[in-house]
Amino acid sequence: MLIKRPNDILPSDITDLKFYQRRREFMKLAAAGSILGASSLLPPEAGAQTAGLAKLNAAKSPLSTVEAPTAYKHVVSYNNFYEFGTDKADPAVHAKNLKLKPWTVVVEGEVKKPRTLGIEELLKLSLEERVYRMRCVEAWSMVIPWIGFEFNQIAKLVEPTANAKFVEFVTAYQPEVMNGVRLPVLEWPYVEALRIDEAMHPLTIMSVGLYGEVLPNQNGAPVRLVVPWKYGFKSGKSIVRIRFVEKQPKTAWEKAGPNEYGFYSNVNPDVDHPRWTQKRERRIPDFFASKQTQLFNGYGDQVAKLYAGMDLKKFF
Amino acid sequence: MQLSPAKLTILKVAVFALALVPLARLVAGALVFPEWLGANPAEFITRATGDWTLRFLLITLAVTPLRKLTGWGWLLRFRRMLGLFTFFYGVVHLASYVSFDHVFELGEIIKDIIKRPFITVGFGALLLMLPLAVTSTNAMVRRLGAARWLKLHRLIYVIGPLGVLHFWWMVKRDLTEPVIYALILALLLGYRLVVKLRESCAAPATVARKPA
């Protein structure tokens, strides 16, 4: 990237989160206050609204959206992480038991230099804040200020061979703390995969944090994939193994419902889920699903070329 | 156990108020306490009203078996109210789908109902409840005559399985909850089947035998 921005300011530094979330209320109160001359109506001092996890420094990125991020409390309380239960409130309750130390990511397969990378090494890669739209296959969406590094940085470390056509991402399997894996809801461990050019695309990141802090467990700590133009389930959480392979891998959701969840799973308003429309979405925490869903989740300018000439209805 | 008319009235008011608690919680959550409904309040409301439709359906279906097992005839006096609450929560459920999910786009809604089996089935179940709700008044019972009224209201034996099927097909992967509903429904309908079979077997031999 040619465009360099100062790397020391995060939105969370500029405006306190709690203050930001209550901006309308604040404006109203401020207006009322000025009318009544009663400054006591102003909200009490604004405290931190994040979980107060370890801070991360990250450069801002021109690839970020300017849309308002979804409130931290929603981002960390409404999660699909089936290893910890199928209800969206489950992960926030149960994922605290996830064993994070030691954490290594094995990078192997069609590569010249297979590596086992400790989370400490990954945190030393150049981190950026990427504010991305996240569209779930269930027709809701959020805007999340991720912190992470481009996946292609990992590729550089291991040097994929010419045979590397796909990349497989394997999620941690810790049956002793994952109450959800007792049920055969999906095949465990959870496996997701991308075509190599999708994985190498600058929008594809491995995230290690959000809202200026390390990832909460329920969001896929300590390191997860984020592919903003695909449905959320493509972005595997708590990754322990990355495999460069020649053949297109079978992913967990493809195995579970091949007619409902395709390998590509690009956000596409014209390809309905068999059981619901994908034309519109609900931006959390809105009541009405009044947002029109965009092809490639609005990242078409950057990624449409990856699929030139492909029938997106066939390769859904 | 007998119940005096006064006690019956008090109990009826109490059941009525209790049946409104789930709705009150949703309204309060939507208007005053957003943290009650979480990050996706619309989904919460749609799920909750769907759940309560099925729960009231099962409670309604439990009245007759309970009455027969306990001998408490007055339980029958609650059946209409419970049935109407089933219908009521079903209508709120439909309304949340029509408004929150489809923002009143009628064309899309009709397509959705035709195209997606789980919605077809759920919508069908609610539609079948409509004649039961309409004929729930005493005047309608008289107009139809008890025999025809009873026959019509056997539709509930179709509505029940359709409702559970709707839930079953809606769930993405984890079938635990729909299975629980299906088992309870099977138990309630199975009880009726057993009673019916016993009666038809026992009737010719011992006419005076009490029903089970």
A163 and A30, same domain (yes or no):
no
> Structurally, how many domains does chain A consist of?
2
Within this chain, do residues A88 and A39 fall inside the same structural domain, yes or no? Answer: no
Question: A213-214 and A191-195 as β-strands: parallel, antiparallel, unpaired?
Answer: unpaired
Question: Do A9 and A125 lie in a common domain?
Answer: no
> A64 and A17, same structural domain?
no
Tell me: do A252 and A182 sit in the same domain.
yes
Question: Residues A101, A59: one domain?
Answer: yes
pLDDT tens-digit readout, A226-270: 999 999 999 999 999 999 999 999 999 999 999 999 999 999 999
Q: How confident is the model at residue A17 (pLDDT cuts 50, 70, 90)?
A: low
Handedness of CA B142, B146, B152, B158 (dihedral sign): positive
- pLDDT at position A302 is 97
Is A313 within the bounds of a domain? no
Integer Cα distance of A236 and A82 in angstroms? 11
Question: Is residue B208 pLDDT above 70, yes or no?
Answer: no
Q: Which residue of A76, A282, A291, A292 to mutate against B (max B Cβ within 10 Å)? A: A282
In a domain, A72, yes or no: yes
Q: Which domain, by its residues, includes A130?
A: 50-307
A183, A277, A285: residue with CB nearest B174: A183
CA atoms of A294 and A266, how far apart (whole Å): 10
Do A96 and A137 reside in the same domain of the chain? Answer: yes
Examine residue A269 and state whether it is found in any structural domain, yes or no: yes
**Same domain as A160, residue A140:** yes
Which residues lie closer than 8 Å to A304 by C-beta, 6 or more apart?
A295, A296
Q: Residue A191 sits in a domain of what CATH number?
A: 3.90.420.10
- Its ipTM equals 0.83
pLDDT for A138: 94
Is residue B212 pLDDT above 80, yes or no? no
Q: What is the pLDDT of residue B36?
A: 94
Q: Cα dist. A314→A232, A249, A262, A263, A266 in Å?
A: 20, 18, 9, 11, 12
Task: Report the DSSP pairing between strands A59-60 and A291-292.
Answer: unpaired
Helix (H) or strand (E) holding A132: strand A128-135
Under an 8 A CB cutoff, do A275 and B116 touch?
yes
For residues B178-204, give the mean pLDDT: 92
User: Which residues face A191 on adjacent strands?
Assistant: A170
Give B-chain residues touching A140 at CB under 8 angstroms. Answer: 40, 43
In a domain, A129, yes or no: yes
Interface contact flag, B42 A88, Cβ < 8 Å: no
In a domain, A312, yes or no: no
Q: Is the pLDDT of residue A52 over 80?
A: yes
Residue A254 in any domain: the answer is: yes
Q: Is the pLDDT of residue A64 over 90?
A: yes
Facing residue for B173 by CB, picked from A73, A78, A185? A185
| pLDDT at res. A6 | 47
Q: Which two tokens stand for residue A306?
A: 């990856």
**Against a cut of 0.90, is the pTM above it?**
no
pLDDT of residue B2: 78
- Examine the domain organization and report whether A187 and A128 are in the same domain: yes
Q: Is A271 on the interface with B (CB under 8 A)?
A: no
Domain identity same for A108 and A210: yes
A291 and A267, same domain (yes or no): yes
Q: Choose among B159, B153, B187: nearest CA to B56.
A: B159
